[in-house]
């Protein structure tokens, strides 16, 4: 079966390569010519473990090609996956301009039956709107069916998540189109992956409700962590004690500098916005967003507790991506922390194993010194802040780090070190939720 995948970002590229690995003949389309040129050379435009091998293997097998020519890709394909971005608008709602552009481009070129599958995260009602746009603008009598197939992969683990998802959600109205999509996912069906077949609206909401719930868990444990600091409790033990209850579960109970990334912040905001528009407000989610914004300031508060005025202080930051194993810095807490340090007149030195290039283009004019190692970052620093729990930060040679710093202050926003051990080494230490 021939498939077109439109948009070669995290979701499109992983899905395209994954579907090719299932045996489909996949054409990946993007408007970004530079990205497509790179991909044609087998180069991956972002860091994602395992993706390069998967892409190269399927290119070599002749099942995966890249192009900027949407018309040609669509002409040859029965099924078209939409994987373009749905970034936040200034009012919090999802910006659907990329989706609209794709729908209108499809309407221009469709000349026989196609199944259009939306993998992008889109507000409830969007799939119906996409079909209306295509039907109203198409140049021939050809019919289209629309399927909502939201994606749940996690950056940093995206290939594994695509190949072994917890569930596959298929929303639609045409039994024929649903059967085609089930057929595409046959390898997963055979591996007993749970499938949920439902209507468009339910499928769309499953994605938002899932992300909103996970974000709620994070904001919840962050508030518990802040409370722990007031009362002398240890949040790591509280979370462990909670997580052993299977009704709660241990995952997403790690406090930190606030959630970031390209999904949780924008998806929670978009759901809140749609709830307000439909007079069905999400009070919990409004609080989740507010708590998260405050949480991004906790590193600054902790630094000021130790150092007072941060003007002219040198602060070393380890970790810029919003989580380990990705180069993605979209909505990363590091952006807020660096911004705030700059506003306070601090000198900022940073290190991240893979995210420094992306951080450079996101942070704008703010002067930041980029280091080639943790040791270089901490040289003569007044304090060290760990923002992302990359494995390589878990095993720093702490005595050496201490000897390089001007004052040995360690703010561990991911609780990767044991307070007692670090204090014994002579550090002034603050974790999160461990007074
Ligand atoms: N990143 C994730 O972890 C993740 C996980 C699940 C769902 N999602 C959702 O999937 C969608 C895509 O996310 P992403 O992170 O892959 O986005 P991305 O920004 O990394 O990639 C989007 C790609 O679409 C391309 N594009 C834009 N307009 C186009 C057009 N008209 N024709 C062809 N290509 C076009 C862009 O050039 C870009 O390469 C979003 O809705 C997101 O919420 C993302």
Mean confidence (pLDDT) of the chain: 97
| Token pair in block for residue 349 | 């030195």
Whether the predicted pLDDT of 435 surpasses 90: no
Q: How many angstroms separate the alpha carbon of residue 6 from the centre of ligand 1? A: 9
- Domains of the chain by start residue, with CATH: 2-198 (3.40.50.720), 207-294 (1.10.1040.10), 296-430 (3.40.50.720)
Ligand 1 within 6 A of CB of 134: no
Specify the 3-state DSSP secondary structure of 207. helix
> Is 263 one of the catalytic residues?
yes
* Section 76-81 average pLDDT: 96
- Whether residue 216 has its Cβ less than 6 Å from ligand 1: no
Is the model's pLDDT at 269 over the cut of 80? yes
| pLDDT value at 393 more than 90 | yes
Mean pLDDT of 17-24: 97
- What is the rounded end-to-end Cα distance, in angstroms, of the chain? 58
Q: Please state, in angstroms and rounded to a whole number, the distance separating the CA atoms of residues 321 and 74.
A: 35
Q: Which of 7, 160, 212 to mutate to test the pocket of ligand 1 (most atoms within 8 A of CB)?
A: 7
Q: 164 falls in which pLDDT band (50, 70, 90)?
A: very high
Query: Measured between alpha carbons, how far is 405 from 408 in angstroms, rounded to an integer?
Result: 6
Report pLDDT for 308.
98
Mean pLDDT of 20-46: 97
DSSP sequence for 213-274: HHHHHHHHHHHHHHHHHHHT-BHHHHHHHHHTSTTT-STT----S---SSSHHHHHHHHHHH
What is the mean predicted confidence (pLDDT) over 236-257? 97
Provide CB contacts within 8 A for 9, sequence distance 6+.
83, 84, 85
State pLDDT tens for residues 89-134. Answer: 999 999 999 999 999 999 999 999 999 999 999 999 999 999 999 9
Query: Is pLDDT of 75 > 80?
Result: yes
Q: Residue 210's pLDDT band (boundaries 50, 70, 90)?
A: very high
Confidence of residue 59 (pLDDT cuts 50, 70, 90): very high
- Measured CA to CA in angstroms, residue 154 lies from 14, 261, 324, 328 at distances of 11, 10, 11, 11
């Amino acid at each position: 079966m021939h498939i077109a995948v439109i948009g070669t970002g995290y979701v499109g590229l992983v899905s395209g390569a994954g579907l090719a690995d299932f045996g489909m003949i996949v054409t990946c389309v993007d408007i970004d010519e530079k990205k497509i040129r790179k991909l044609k050379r087998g180069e991956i435009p972002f860091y994602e473990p395992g993706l390069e091998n998967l892409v190269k293997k399927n290119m070599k097998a002749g099942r995966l090609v890249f192009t900027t020519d949407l018309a040609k890709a669509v002409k040859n394909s029965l099924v078209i996956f939409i994987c373009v971005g749905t970034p936040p608008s200034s009012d919090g709602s999802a910006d659907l301009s990329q989706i609209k552009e794709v729908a209108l481009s499809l309407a221009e070129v469709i000349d026989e039956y196609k199944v259009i599958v939306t993998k992008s995260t889109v507000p409830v009602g969007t799939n119906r709107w996409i079909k209306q746009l295509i039907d109203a603008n198409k140049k021939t009598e050809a019919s289209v069916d629309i399927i909502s197939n939201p994606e749940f992969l996690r950056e940093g683990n995206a290939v594994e998540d695509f190949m072994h998802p917890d569930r596959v959600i298929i929303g639609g109205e045409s039994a024929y189109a649903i059967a085609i999509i089930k057929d595409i996912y046959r390898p997963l069906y055979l591996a007993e992956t749970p499938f949920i077949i439902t209507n468009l609206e339910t499928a769309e909401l499953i994605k938002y409700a899932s992300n909103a719930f996970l974000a709620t868990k994070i904001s919840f444990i962050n508030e518990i962590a802040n409370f722990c600091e007031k009362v002398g409790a240890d949040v790591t033990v509280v979370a462990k004690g909670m997580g052993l209850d299977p009704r709660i579960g241990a995952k997403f109970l790690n406090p930190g500098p606030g959630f970031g990334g390209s999904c949780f912040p924008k998806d929670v905001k978009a759901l809140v916005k749609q709830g307000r528009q439909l007079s069905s407000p999400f009070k919990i989610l409004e609080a989740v967003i507010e708590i998260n914004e405050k949480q991004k300031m906790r590193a600054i508060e902790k630094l000021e507790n130790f150092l007072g005025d941060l003007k002219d202080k040198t602060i070393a930051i380890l970790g810029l991506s919003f989580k380990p194993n990705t180069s993605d810095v979209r909505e990363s807490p590091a952006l807020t922390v660096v911004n705030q340090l700059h506003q306070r007149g601090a000198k900022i030195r940073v290190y991240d194993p893979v995210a420094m290039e992306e951080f450079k283009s996101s942070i704008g004019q703010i002067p930041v010194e980029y280091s080639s190692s943790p040791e270089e970052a901490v040289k003569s620093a007044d304090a060290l802040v760990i923002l992302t729990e990359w494995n390589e930060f878990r095993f720093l040679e702490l005595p050496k780090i201490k000897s390089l710093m001007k004052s040995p202050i360690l703010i561990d926003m991911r609780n990767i070190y044991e307070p007692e051990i670090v204090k014994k080494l002579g550090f002034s230490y603050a974790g999160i939720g461990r007074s």
